[in-house]
Structure 1
């Protein structure tokens, strides 16, 4: 495998293990670290810390953006010299879950610099990155995906091509709406079990061996309870639920029963407890 120079923005909960895997694969990684502590963390991962987005993009075959919100993606990619600093023929990979329109707006500016764009939101967490088994929904042209794959395969499998640019976000948002709805239903199932005199740990364990099994149920069972699961990842789920609701409204789509199930979720019902 040819070693690449890769720029990285967003060395947080998800980004840090991605950087670690890229470095372990032999790539030269430059990662943004605006503070002294952030630059120390980047160095500890084996990457080169840089203070400005232009330095992230300079000479990079690929730049990965893995920040928390859609607004942060827009700020990094559209309000800084990042695109202007990247070489022609390079690829920008966006992992953050957000609006397909953000990827399209970035691509419109990137085209002027001969830069390809791939939206590749992810499904999974840090343990999946560590194992190289993170699921990615990749939207973009065949040429863009070909340039992105050597990067994505360092920490992702499967990398699923799902259509043109923006399709990765659309599939991820549908996935997250379904997952959140399953969590809502599971919350109600745990409540029902309690009313029937069965404790939460017992019903969560039993469901893993029955027709009610699901990845949502397995994820909650691994944390021990609905409350513990949402304490761990509720912020991320809540952000994505807000995004899918906003996008559906903008596009004139309806969420139907999915929305009713999401409304039963712990991070909504907790306020009434």
Structure 2
């Protein structure tokens, strides 16, 4: 399969590596000469621009950080005009479901489909081919996207129409942030009971209270260390979840207080 790619950073680079290893022809954007050299070294064809990476691509993967960057890539240049009719744009970036809808509306005029495909996991999951992907979009577009995603993701879950992937991911991250908050409160309680944080975190993953959040915090060695590692990403996504819920007349309910205990203390949301 011919694949275009933008965002070959911490998450994107191992995706490109898996795609190349899976036999796909990958043309990936490198903004600098050094970045393009690094892409060539892992077997991708380096491209200087998004349009160059999009030429003849059957699937174009967007793996940038923010909604604004997604709009810049997809709507601010020549991506949609360059992609061939029948191509699928895969948006991995976690953000507002409205962003994918906006891009899909623009893409219709060019015969290009869009799926939102936020992910759960990290570079080690990608390297193992075990990244979780929540796909939103029509069945035909999702099926075409699977041909690329299966190189680095399993499971690839079709969770509903366009935008549903983002909604599932936002719920997931709100819940995860709340669970971190509960771990932080448990550590605070342990301190009141005279327990050392390191000893408590070493013990609890072996007990009935264990879960992904607790294991992740324990792996980092301390609540503060884990907050530092994931705070930027979670804070961004929780802010989107809160705003989306408010726009729809809802709220995060009991999750809110736990999230505030789990996110970095300087988080403004």
Where on the TM-score scale, by shorter chain, does this alignment land: which range? Answer: over 0.9
Q: CA deviation at 1:266?
A: 4.5
**Structure 2 equivalent of residue 48 of structure 1:** 45
Distance verdict in 2 for CA 1:269–1:76, change over 3 Å: closer
Aligned residues between the structures: 268
Partners in 1 of 2:177 and 2:78 — Cα distance? 36
Which of 255, 265, 268 in structure 2 is aligned with 1:268?
A: 265
SS at match of 2:90: strand
**Structure 2 equivalent of residue 135 of structure 1:** 132
**Structure 2 equivalent of residue 241 of structure 1:** 238
**Structure 2 equivalent of residue 213 of structure 1:** 210
**Structure 2 equivalent of residue 155 of structure 1:** 152
8 Å contact 1:34–1:52 — kept in the other structure?
yes
Q: CA deviation at 1:40?
A: 2.1
Cα shift readout 1:155-191 (whole Å, capped 9, x = no counterpart): 0000011000000000000000000000011111111
Which of 138, 143, 146 in structure 2 is aligned with 1:146?
A: 143
Partners in 2 of 1:137 and 1:266 — Cα distance? 24
Partners in 1 of 2:37 and 2:30 — Cα distance? 8
8 Å contact 2:234–2:263 — kept in the other structure?
no
Structure 1 segments of 4 or more deviating over 6 A?
A: none
Coordinate RMSD, CA, aligned: 1.4
SS at match of 1:208: helix
Gaps spanning 5+ residues in structure 2: where? none
Instruction: Please give the TM-score of this superposition, normalised by the length of structure 1.
Output: 0.95
Partners in 1 of 2:267 and 2:55 — Cα distance? 47
Q: Is residue 175 of structure 2 the alignment partner of residue 169 of structure 1?
A: no
Instruction: Please give the TM-score of this superposition, normalised by the length of structure 2.
Output: 0.96
**Structure 2 equivalent of residue 185 of structure 1:** 182
